[in-house]
Structure formats: C-alpha cells, structure tokens
Amino acid sequence: MGMTMTEKILARAGGVARVKPGDLAVVDVETAVCMDTTFQPGRLQEERWLDIRKVHDPRKIAIIYDHLVPAADEATATAMRIGRDFAARFGIERLHDVGADQGIAHSVVAERGYALPGTVLVGSDSHTGAGGAFNCAAKAIGRPDLVYTVITGKTWFPVGETVRYELTGRLKPGVSAKDVFLTIAGKWGAHSGQNVEYGGHGLATLGLGARRTLAAMSTELSAEFAILEPDDLVRDHIRAVNPGAQFFPTLPDPDATYRERRSIDLGAIEPLVALPDKVLNNTLPLERLAGLKIDQAFVGSCANGSLEDLAVVAKVLKGRKVAKGTRFIVTPGTQATYRAALKAGYVEAMLDAGAVVTPATCGACFGGHMGVLGADEVCITASTRNFKGRMGDPTARIYMASPATVAASAVAGRIASAAEFYAGALE
C-alpha cells in the first residue's frame, strides 16, 4: 500500500521504509527557524537559550526577526539582542536582522529557499506550515521542542490521516488563492489532526505567491501539515535562490490512502468574505456584504504579502484614492519584496492613492504595531486571522478577504468587489 506525500517525507526524514496514520514519527530536521518572539525575555525563556552549550548544526538554523520590527518595545529589543548573541556564539550565518535581509519569517524562508522539497522544517510560529508550498513538511512546534531540535537536530510528530484536494481549471480575474482557502474553510471547516495535500492540473496555474497563501492559510484549518505537489516552478526557484542545496521532490504514490479526496474547480470559485471572529464555516459571498462601512483595510502577512499580492493591490489602486475616513495599510512580506515593489511602481501607486506602506513585519496582522485597531472599528484584512482581539481592541470587527477585495474596499470605504467597481483592473 502506497503513501501520501506527508507520509513519504516523514518516513524519509525518519530513516524508515514507511509510516502510516497512528504512528509516531521521529525525524531529522533540515531547517529550524527562530524569530524575535522565540527569544522573548522572561526568566525561564531567557535562561533556556543562554544555557545551551551546543547546537546540532548551525547551518540548519535560521534566525529571522519579524513580529515587532523595528523593535516596538524594550522586551522585543532585548529578545533581538539575545538572538544576536546566540547567533554569534554558535556561528549561525542565517541571521536576518533588522535591515535589508529582513522580512516576515515564512516569506524569507520562501525567498531564500530554506524550505526544501522532501525535507522537514520547523519553527515556533503557528504559520510555519507556509513552507509546505515548496513540498516541504513544515510545521510549528513549541519553544521547548524548538530548543530540543536546535540541540539534537530531531523532533517528532504523530502521523495523521490525509485529505487530498485535487485542483482543476484556472482562477478568474479578481479571484485569488485566498478565495480558494475561504471556500475550503467555509464548506469543510476544521481539519483537526489531519494533513492536507494539494495537487492536480490546476495547481500549475498558481504562482508561488498563491501557493504560499494556500499553505499558510491551511494552518487556519487546524491541519497538521499542508503540502503541495512539486513541479518545475518549485524546483527552478530552489535552484536559483539556494544553489547547491539538496532536496527531494516528493509525489504521492498512485495507491496512496486518503481519508478523503476532494475536487475543486478553480474556475468556479467566487470572491468570498469571512465574517468576524472565525473563518471556519463562517464565510459569505462578497455580494452579501457589499456596502458595509469599514475604518481600516490591510494587506500583508505571510499569507498575502508577496509581490504577486502587491501587484494586484497596485492595479486596483492606480489612478484612484483611498476613501476619506478609511486607512489602508500595506505590508510587504520582506524587504526584498518591498524593493521589488518599488522598482515595479507598485509602492508609488499605493502612496499616490493614500495608502501607508510599512516595513516588513507581522505587526498589524497580530495587533502588535503599525495598524492596531481601536474600539468598535471595522477592518477588512488580507492577512491570516480574524478572531476577536487579533488586530487590537476586542470590540473591533475583522472581516477577511482577498487582496483584490481589500484594495477595492479601501477605495470604496466599504466592502466592495474589485470586479464590480473597477472592471478591467485585474485583467
């Protein structure tokens, strides 16, 4: 009996012939990712990192500052100092400090090719699973487990059942991978204890940014792993940005056993919006919410801060203005993406429209800084989460949608459709 992609990657990393649902897989970790929050001070946390006497392999550790960049408070500044000292002590070269090489960790992982096909990657942030876009078994683990991984090079995972999504067709203009996720979340809800795999001919029509959106947002399904099939686009990207790296593109066996196989026609997907406080089983067609007044619009995060996403925003905004009384905040996923968006003219289009473009950070996404919501405000976001209090005051209401919908809403000052109000902008 064959194995799924998830099972094959875990088996290889564990040095065994096969694993199956119900097994406990002890695996070698190719990449461990630490962030500023990983080193957050506090007696136990600080001593834990300071007491480490060795690491398994400094070449397999990346330290990426992202959550509160530039440092928003003394605690974050101290955490960054601890991380810098840790990198210097063990010769960790993959230190993405505040500056030109910095960005949201999962976006940096994507741009630098740290998520290698057929390998295991772990990190302390919940959206570490974004690395699954590159056919990598990527998953968040707790900070104590991350310390263990850094020291030993190993971790463990229970092996769950897998749900496969077979993608066909092609997305229509103005529809994005975020809408694909919202379709899955709205129709099928939680995938707790399950792995998710994406494949099919439709996958080839999605760029790397869209694939990253799918993988990152699958965390919100409560999926264990979310892994996409590899193709030449993935292989060529890894070879270009991480030359010499060993990787192992992995496809499912033809006779792999799945909990369920589901087909999604990308061409049938329509723009959706998640209502406040949750995304699971909580979505409506965009037209049902059109006209709802907003105070803030946000595009960014590891899910929707790619150059592809910024291109969509710029197309919608070009020659238009953000509505009076509405704040529009845009956060590129990395400083490299910011620079590319500048060269392409995307940032100019955003600034001309009245948007605010921030440095690469998780700040607005999780209510840390650079876009915190006040009491009773309404926000539409193309980020990762919309639960109560996620972006600031717990009385604020957060709707989730695609970058195109968010940009159109920013111009309208209310939830609006890019296709309806700005025909042709996304062709």
Single-letter amino acid code for the residue at 351: L
Which of 127-136, 262-271, 406-415, 417-426 shows the lowest per-residue confidence on average (mean pLDDT)?
A: 417-426
Among candidates 394, 403, 241, which has minimal Cα distance to 313? 403
Tens digit of pLDDT for each residue in 331-360? 999 999 999 999 999 999 999 999 999 999
Residue ranges of domains in the chain, CATH in brackets: 5-245+257-265 (3.30.499.10), 274-421 (3.30.499.10)
Helices 335-344, 105-112: axis angle to 10 degrees equals 70
pLDDT band, very low/low/confident/very high, at 423 (cuts 50, 70, 90)? low
What pLDDT is attached to residue 184?
Answer: 98
> For the residues 139-162, what does the mean pLDDT come to?
95
Residue 377 CA: distances (Å) to CA of 98, 100, 273: 31, 34, 17
d(CA 311, CA 309) in angstroms, rounded, equals 5
Tens digit of pLDDT for each residue in 73-119? 999 999 999 999 999 999 999 999 999 999 999 999 999 999 999 99
Tens digit of pLDDT for each residue in 241-265? 999 999 999 999 999 999 999 999 9
> For the residues 168-173, what does the mean pLDDT come to?
95
> Per residue, what are the HEC states of the chain?
CECCHHHHHHHHHHCCCCCCCCCEEEEECCEEEEEHHHHCCCHHHHHHHHCCCCCCCHHHEEEECCCCCCCCCHHHHHHHHHHHHHHHHHCCCCEECCCCCCECHHHHHHHHCCCCCCCEEEECCHHHHHHHHHCCEEEECCHHHHHHHHHHCEEEEECCCEEEEEEECCCCCCCCHHHHHHHHHHHHCCCCCCEEEEECHHHHHCCHHHHHHHHHHHHHHCCCCEEECCCHHHHHHHHHHCCCCCCCCCCCCCCECCCEEEEEEHHHCCCEEECCCCCCCCEEEHHHCCCCECCEEEECHHHHCCHHHHHHHHHHHCCCCCCCCCEEEECCCEHHHHHHHHHHCHHHHHHHHCCEECCCCCCCCCCCCCCCECCCCEEEEECCCCCCCCCECCCCEEEECCHHHHHHHHHHCECCCHHHHCCCCCC
pLDDT band, very low/low/confident/very high, at 47 (cuts 50, 70, 90)? low
Query: Is the full-model pTM beyond 0.75?
Result: yes
> For the residues 12-38, what does the mean pLDDT come to?
97
pLDDT band, very low/low/confident/very high, at 48 (cuts 50, 70, 90)? confident
Whether residue 195 has pLDDT greater than 80:
yes
Tens digit of pLDDT for each residue in 209-218? 999 999 999 9
Which of 67-81, 147-161, 205-219, 234-248 shows the lowest per-residue confidence on average (mean pLDDT)?
A: 67-81
**Are the C-beta atoms of residues 383 and 373 closer than 8 Å to each other?**
no
Whether residue 188 has pLDDT greater than 90:
yes
Residue 386 CA: distances (Å) to CA of 23, 132, 282, 391: 34, 22, 11, 8
Single-letter amino acid code for the residue at 76: T
Q: State what percent of residues in the chain have pLDDT above 70.
A: 97
Helices 307-317, 403-412: axis angle to 10 degrees equals 30
What pLDDT is attached to residue 422?
Answer: 58
> For the residues 137-152, what does the mean pLDDT come to?
94
- List b or e across 197-225, with b for residues whose CB sees 16 or more CB atoms inside 10 angstroms: bbbbebbeebebbbbbbbbbbbbbbebbb
The structure tokens listed for 315 are: 């197309």
d(CA 204, CA 402) in angstroms, rounded, equals 20
96 Cβ contact list (under 8 Å, min separation 6): 62, 63, 64, 65, 102, 103, 105, 108
**Are the C-beta atoms of residues 250 and 230 closer than 8 Å to each other?**
yes
pLDDT band, very low/low/confident/very high, at 321 (cuts 50, 70, 90)? very high
pLDDT band, very low/low/confident/very high, at 425 (cuts 50, 70, 90)? low
d(CA 204, CA 254) in angstroms, rounded, equals 19
Pick the more confident residue, 249 or 365. Answer: 249
Tens digit of pLDDT for each residue in 383-402? 999 999 999 999 999 999 99
Calculate Rg over the CA atoms of the chain. 21
The structure tokens listed for 222 are: 């409560």
> For the residues 130-136, what does the mean pLDDT come to?
98
Average pLDDT, the chain: 95
What pLDDT is attached to residue 106?
Answer: 97
**Are the C-beta atoms of residues 168 and 264 closer than 8 Å to each other?**
yes
